[in-house]
Amino acid sequence: DQQVKQNSPSLSVQEGRISILNCDYTNSMFDYFLWYKKYPAEGPTFLISISSIKDKNEDGRFTVFLNKSAKHLSLHIVPSQPGDSAVYFCAAAGEGKLVFGAGTILRVKS
């Protein structure tokens, strides 16, 4: 049973445009959400997070939006750069656990 779902395995975006990565979760006990970025043959690195008491958190080119009623969050990258090409994992924390989605491969074309 996947509690955190990233339904788009991959996304291709032109450099300079907006990248939107989506994530859905099923467990209403999750109260903290994170995005990780992973390059090939490396461990994931923390990118940005949001608490369930907020609906938006911004850090430079990266913004995470949380819609609790829809159990949906999204990561916006504006403007997208070729160096953003990586796998992005959505993660949800709660009940003492951190659960990851399957990841979305983002390719930013120059």
Partner 1 sequence: SQTIHQWPATLVQPVGSPLSLECTVEGTSNPNLYWYRQAAGRGLQLLFYSIGIGQISSEVPQNLSASRPQDRQFILSSKKLLLSDSGFYLCAWSVDSSFYGYTFGSGTRLTVV
| Residue 5 or 72 with smaller CB distance to partner 1 | 5
Please count the CA atoms within 13 angstroms of the CA of 40 that sit on its side-chain side.
Answer: 5
Select from 13-21, 41-49, 58-66, 72-80 the region that touches partner 1 (CB under 8 A): 41-49
Residues 6+ apart with CB under 8 A from 72: 22, 23, 24, 25, 66
What is the nearest approach in angstroms of partner 1 to the Cβ of residue 91? 8
Contact 84, 77 (CB under 8 A): yes
Which of 15/22 has CB closer to partner 1?
22
Strands, DSSP E only, in the chain?
A: 4-5, 10-14, 19-25, 32-38, 45-51, 56-59, 62-67, 72-77, 86-94, 97-100, 104-109
**Binds partner 1 by CB under 8 A, chosen from 15, 32, 76, 107:** 32
67 to 106: interface string for partner 1, x by CB under 8 A: ----------------------x-x-x--xxxxxxxx---
Binding site for partner 1 (CB under 8 A): 2, 4, 6, 9, 32, 34, 36, 41-46, 49, 89, 91, 93, 96-103
